[in-house]
Structure 1
Amino acid sequence: MARGQKTPRWLEAARRRGGAAPSPDGRSDWLARALGRAGVLPRADAEAAIREGRVEVDGRVEREPFAPVHSGSQVKVDGRARVLATASRVLMFHKPAGPVVHGSDPEGVGTVFERLRAVLPEDLLGYEWFAVGRLDRDTTGLLLFTNDERLVRHGTSPQTHLSKRYVARVVGHPGEAALQRLRDGLELEDGPTRPAQARSRALDVVELTLTEGRHHQVKRMLAAVGHPVLALHREAVGGLSLDVPEGAWRELRSEEVREGLGFLPV
């Protein structure tokens, strides 16, 4: 660990407790996160329940949210036994313009997490949902959510090269020369872009497919070729195409996750 870097709270707790006991599958976690991943309580609610003394681990009350646990730990919440082992779950959500992909919105419009929870059934509200990547406040379209942080890392890693297809309405009428510059790659302030797929759908509409995901990349690329973005929509990630109405969601099947995202769910 780098000099001066603070030790994570979960690691401090694990060290104080001597670490988690080995689990049959060799995997361990910390209590509040494990409850959120298993769909028992979202992490903030789980932390509150733990501190209030409502959670037992292996027969004793546990008040430390970062206490180490594993899939074989015997956990009770409000006296009810809960299983920590869980499968990977992935949701497709059609993000509307307005909400941000953050935990809170200082402007008061709202977050995508609030919008998602408002339409989820009760049996999915106990999960801690992580967004796989981000979309700008004014960008609409396909946004994935999961309870499995491994998928977040897979979907956002620069090494994965997972494709994302966008449709942009732009200023002006991009010609073949501008589209070819997008295909070849551009030099932006944070370095050259990877080659992209670009084609015209209408005089002022460009389809752009990227295999990287830098901050405001689509907007910056189109501005660099002289056609600033007026409206932006993401319609596909990997082999998954958006197929639900704005503000709606559906759960992906395991085969969709494997084939569309190149990720092996548990």
Structure 2
Amino acid sequence: MGSSGRSAGRDDGDRLQKVLARTGLGSRRACEELIAAGRVTVNGEVAELGRRVDVDHDRIEVDGVPVSVRPGLVYYLLNKPRGVVSTADDPQGRQTVVSLVPAEPRVHPVGRLDADTEGLLILTNDGELTYRLTHPRFGVEKEYLAQVAGTPSRRAVRRLRDGVELDDGPTAPARVALVAPNLLRITIHEGRNRQVRRMCEAIGHPVQRLVRSRIGPITDRKLRPGTWRELTPAEVRALERAASASVGEGGSSWAGRARPRR
């Protein structure tokens, strides 16, 4: 029996409006109105007022967008400095991104920035959102500012936009703008290893400095290198929407999948 069958007749668990309010979607009254309007589903079924849910097993969506409801989830936005590695532990003893945020609860970086790359990185203990933000199917954009050697020509910029051939295959089309003689703004939705650096090398303009300036809808020009802050509930919700926007008509790619363990 699926999770829908397990929970449909439950008389334990938390009331749905309480769970939704805890995520920052609004007051309990506002969440009751969402439920009454038929905008909330539990395991694919339109929820009714009074529904109780199991936050560890039930899949809750609002307007078709999954909502992370397990208690204790945290979301940090870090401005990673150069020289810090995007892992929890490093055999070479280098400083890690995990060491720059609170030790408890334990979190992991969402994707990676190589040691020489600076900029925005999300750390969380939310395995589901991590999957959706990093899996190529969902196509969440990442924007970079790349200071390069020399001034790329219009033809070189066009090559980046159209896709360039790398040793692991051609890149997908990207949004690229030359914002200064040796500064490119590059927006991609793939997540290959050192992709932006390799793209720029492919057009003959190696990267001298690389900074990630945006992850999906999330940006913060005031966050200093080496510092972090918690994402607001509205920002988490915006990430959830961004990580669901490119799912095709077949429905969410979570259908039929086991929850990832983190």
What TM-score, normalized by structure 1, do the two folds share?
Answer: 0.63
Counterpart secondary structure, 1:231: strand
Question: Which of residues 152, 162, 169 in structure 2 aligns to 1:191?
Answer: 169
2:189 matched to which residue of 1? 211
- CA deviation profile, 1:118-174 (whole Å, cap 9, x unmatched): xxxxxxx42120111100001100000111101110111010100000001111111
CA offset at residue 87 of structure 1? 4.7
Match in the other structure for 1:86? 71
Q: Does 1:154 align with 2:132?
A: yes
Matches within 5 A, 1:163-178: 163-178=141-156
Residues 94, 23 of structure 1: alpha-carbon distance in 2 compared, 3 angstrom cutoff: farther
Name 1:227's counterpart in structure 2.
205
Assess if the C-alpha contact under 8 Å between 1:239 and 1:261 holds in 2. no
* 1:115 counterpart = 2:93: no
Structure with the greater alpha carbon radius of gyration: 1
Q: Work out the CA distance in 1 between the residues paired with 2:220 and 2:199.
A: 23
Q: Residue 168 of structure 1 aligns to a residue in which SS?
A: strand
Q: Which residue of 1 aligns with 2:121?
A: 143
Q: 1:104 aligns with which of 85, 89, 92?
A: 89
Q: Residue type of the partner of 1:228?
A: P
The Cα RMSD (Å) is 2.4
The question of 1:248 aligning with 2:231 is answered no
Q: Which TM-score applies when normalising by structure 2?
A: 0.64
The superposition leaves residues 87-111 of structure 1 with CA deviations (integer Å, 9 ceiling, x where unpaired) of 5321111100111112222332211
| Whole-Å separation in 2 of the counterparts to 1:97 and 1:261 | 28
Q: Following TM superposition, by how much is the alpha carbon of 1:228 offset from its aligned partner in structure 2, in angstroms?
A: 0.6
Aligned mates of 2:122, 2:75 — CA distance in 1: 7
Q: Distance in 2 between matches of 1:176 and 1:100?
A: 34
**Which residue identity lines up with residue 158 of structure 1 in the other structure?**
P
The answer for unaligned runs of 5 or more in structure 2 is 9-53, 57-69, 245-262
Alignment map for 1:14-33 (pairs within 5 Å):
none
Equivalent residue, structure 1, for 2:66: none
Deviation of the 1:23 alpha carbon: 7.9
Change in 2 beyond 3 A, CA 1:209/1:227: same
Provide the rounded CA distance (Å) in 2 between the counterparts of 1:103 and 1:143.
Answer: 13
* Match of residue 126 from structure 1: 104
Q: Percent identity?
A: 39
